[in-house]
Every structure is written in C-alpha cells, then in structure tokens.
C-alpha cells in the first residue's frame, strides 16, 4: 500500500472513530441530547445582532463540550457533521457572508481552546481538523488559521495531517489579497516547517504531498489571469525552501516518502505564471533544484529494492522530464531552448518498466542539459 493510500485509510478510520480506547480518553459519560442546528434565520441574516451571535456561541460551545468529552466516538463524528452542516441552511443553501465570518471566528476560538487544553482528546483533535478544513474552504477566510497552526504543531502526525488539510483550504484566499497578515504568514511558514519536522513514514509522504498541493493552488488559480504579486514574493521562497529541505534528505541517503510529490515543486517553479516573475537568482536556484532532484532521484532508484519506491522515483523522473520539456519548448515554453528541450526528452519519455541503464542515461542527459542552459544564461 502506498503512503497516500495508507494515509487515506488512516483518515477514514479516524473520521469514523473505529479506534480503540486511548490513555487520554476520558471515562465514559452519558451521551448528551443532540444539539439543535443554528437557525436558518441566523444563517441567512444580512447583519447579525448580539442575540444571533450568542446563539452561534452557545450552540458551538455545546458541540465543543461534546467533542472534547471523548466518551462516545460516534457522537464525536456526529459533532463534526454538525459543525460542517452549520455552514449551510436546512435546504443546503450557503449561509450569508456575515454569518460565515462570525461562525468561522467563533469556531476558531472555541476549537483552539479545546485542542490547546492539557490532555486534549486525540479523536477530538482529528475531528476538529476535519471540520476546520471544511470551514476554511467554505468561508474562504483565514479566521481558522490559529487553529490550523496549532494542529500543524501537534506531536501526532495524524493530527498534523488534518492541520495540513485545513491549511490548504486557506491558501487560495491568502494569495488572493494584496497583503498577508502575521497569522497568515505564520500559517504559511508552518506548512513548510511541518514537512521538515515530519519526514518519517507512514504519514511523512502524505503530509509533504498535501503541502505541495496547498502551495500549488494559487499558481493554477491564476492560469487565466495575472498571478498575485504575493506569489513571487512569498510563495516562491516557500516552495524553494520546501524543495531544498526535501533534497537534503536525498543527499543524506534518506529517501523521503512520496518522492513523486517533489515533482509538484518543479511544476510550480517552472510554471509560466511563476517563472516570468522570478529574479535571475531564483531562476537559477529553481533549475538547480530540479537538476539535483533528478540526479538524486536516479541515484536513489539504483539503490532501491522496494518496487513501490522504485516506481514512485521513476514516475517523479518522468514528470520532471515532461515539465522541463514543456518549459523549454521552442514554440511555446516560458524559456524556449532547443538544446534543453532535446536534453530532457529521454527523461520525459521514460516508462515505469525502463531499465536502470536507460534511467541513468536519461537522467545524466537531463542534468547536463540543465547545467549547460544555466551556463549559457548567467
């Protein structure tokens, strides 16, 4: 089973609460009566008054109390469903903008207090992360950023993965603005820091994959328009740092989980929307990182006895070659260059059944072509 599939299996188990009792679970208590959903009148109100806000606060507090208890895993799952359902009215229509902002703020405050408590229930933190991802995606707000940061810093990789998914829901909104707040900057730093702190299986790979996917969103959101200036100023340094930290694992002889995820970093950096805005130094750094990834991935492939890892490495090499070919295409690439295009052609045409000799030859050709391009474009 691949790391990604394993992670999805773990998340499914956690979400449905089919877990044995843990030492941090509280003693069983009788399940409370279901909490009525927030009224449609409040959800669709154009401007919330104090009574409306109190209704949100009181009902979310009851759900948080139930979620924190930990005595009834099935109830905790129902609590998560309640928290997500609170984003829409009883007919499934999106709630009003004022309500969504107020709800996200209250949700963050109460959930942050819950997960920050000493001996906070493990399942409660998992369910909080799942709900936070939905709140972030639905509201487009970074109001839940403090909660996501806390989850990303959790010592449990399972909780961290939930925090990463929640963070991903906020990244597009962060880069749609003209500036970044301190808590948003903290969240972005934690996305990269979390990958660095969690390199080990079984969740190190899925955490890295989710981080790359989160950072890719603002780039592809701007395909039909101009990317935000924040992409060049903020996102690119983060991606470069993430790629370079992963390369450090290859250099140390520690093949990182999900090596194919690192190809996403290459795709981001060589995207036409990004490449044109890079400084010359950043362009050289990006292509240098691509060359290092190819070189170390090919070397790791030669050392692999594990079929799954070998397949992931070949797929990563193939993706890198294809992306570099598009990047240097003489007709439509952002950096048209026939020599570079020819030099990476064999890498991009590798098959999963390609032999070691073909892989080594294609990788060497590609690395040499990149180095030649850099020397010609100082």
pLDDT score of 15: 45
Q: How confident is the model at residue 212 (pLDDT cuts 50, 70, 90)?
A: very high
pLDDT tier at 197, thresholds 50, 70, 90: very high
Three-class HEC string of the chain: CCHHHHHHHHHHHHHHCCCCCCCCCCCCCCCCCCCCCCCHHHHCCCCCCHHHHHHHHHHHHHHHHHHHHCCCHHHHHHHHHHHHHCCECCCCCECCHHHHHHHHHHHHHHHHHHHHCCCCCHHHHHHHHHHHHHHHHHHCCCCCHHHHHHHHCCCCHHHHHHHHHHHHHHHHHHCCCCCCCHHHHHHHHHHHHHHHHCCCCCCHHHHHHHHHHHHHHHHHHCCCCCCCHHHHHHHHHHHHHHHHHHHHHHHCCCCCCCHHHHHHHHHHHHCHHHHCCCCHHHHHHHHHHHHHHHHHHHHHHHHCCCHHHHHHHHHHHHHHHHHHHHHHCCCCCCCCCHHHHHHCHHHHCCCCCCCHHHHHHHHHHHHHHHHHHHHHCC
Residue 226 pLDDT grade (very low, low, confident, very high; cuts 50, 70, 90): low
Judged against a pLDDT cut of 50, whether residue 13 lies above it is answered with: no
Q: What does the pLDDT average to over 22-38?
A: 68
pTM of the model: 0.88
Residues 263-287 pLDDT 10s:
999 999 999 989 988 999 999 999 9
Name the architecture of domain 1-17+40-221: Alpha Horseshoe (1.25)
Tens of pLDDT, residues 38-79: 999 999 999 999 999 999 999 999 999 999 998 899 999 999
State how far the Cα of 303 lies from the Cα of 297, in Å rounded to an integer.
10
- Give domain limits for the chain: 1-17+40-221, 233-378
Residue that wins the pLDDT comparison between 245 and 20: 245
């Amino acid at each position: 089973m691949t790391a990604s599939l394993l992670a999805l299996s773990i998340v499914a188990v956690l979400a449905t609460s089919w877990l044995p009792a843990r030492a941090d679970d509280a003693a069983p208590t009788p399940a409370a009566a279901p909490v009525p959903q927030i009224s449609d009148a409040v959800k669709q109100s154009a401007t919330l008054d104090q009574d409306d806000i109190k209704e949100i606060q009181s009902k979310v507090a009851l759900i948080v109390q139930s979620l924190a208890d930990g005595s009834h895993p099935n109830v905790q799952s129902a609590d998560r469903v309640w928290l997500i359902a609170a984003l829409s009215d009883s007919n499934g229509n999106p709630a009003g903008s004022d309500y969504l902002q107020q709800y996200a703020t209250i949700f963050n405050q109460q959930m942050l207090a819950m997960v920050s408590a000493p001996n906070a229930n493990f399942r409660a933190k998992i369910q909080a992360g799942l709900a936070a991802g939905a709140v972030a995606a639905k509201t487009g707000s970074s109001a839940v950023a403090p909660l996501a940061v806390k989850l990303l810093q959790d010592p449990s990789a399972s909780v961290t993965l939930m925090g990463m998914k929640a963070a991903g829901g906020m990244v597009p909104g962060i880069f749609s603005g003209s500036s970044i707040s301190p808590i948003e900057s903290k969240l972005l730093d934690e996305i990269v820091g979390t990958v660095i702190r969690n390199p080990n299986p079984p969740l190190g790979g899925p955490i890295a994959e989710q981080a790359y996917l989160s950072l890719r969103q603002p780039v592809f959101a701007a395909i039909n328009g101009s990317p935000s200036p924040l992409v060049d100023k903020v996102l690119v340094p983060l991606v470069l740092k993430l790629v370079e930290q992963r390369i450090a694992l290859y250099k140390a002889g520690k093949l990182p989980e999900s090596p194919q995820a690192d190809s996403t970093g290459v795709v981001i950096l060589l995207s036409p929307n990004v490449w044109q805005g890079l400084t010359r130094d950043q362009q050289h750094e990006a292509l240098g990182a691509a060359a290092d990834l190819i070189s170390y991935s090919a070397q790791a492939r030669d050392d692999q006895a594990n079929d799954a890892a070998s397949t992931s490495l070949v797929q990563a090499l193939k993706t890198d070659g294809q992306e570099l070919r598009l990047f240097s295409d003489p007709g439509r690439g952002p950096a048209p260059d026939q020599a570079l295009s020819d030099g990476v052609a064999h890498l991009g045409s590798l098959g999963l059944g390609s032999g070691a000799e073909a892989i080594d030859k294609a990788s060497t050709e590609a690395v040499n072509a990149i180095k030649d391009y850099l020397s010609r474009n100082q």
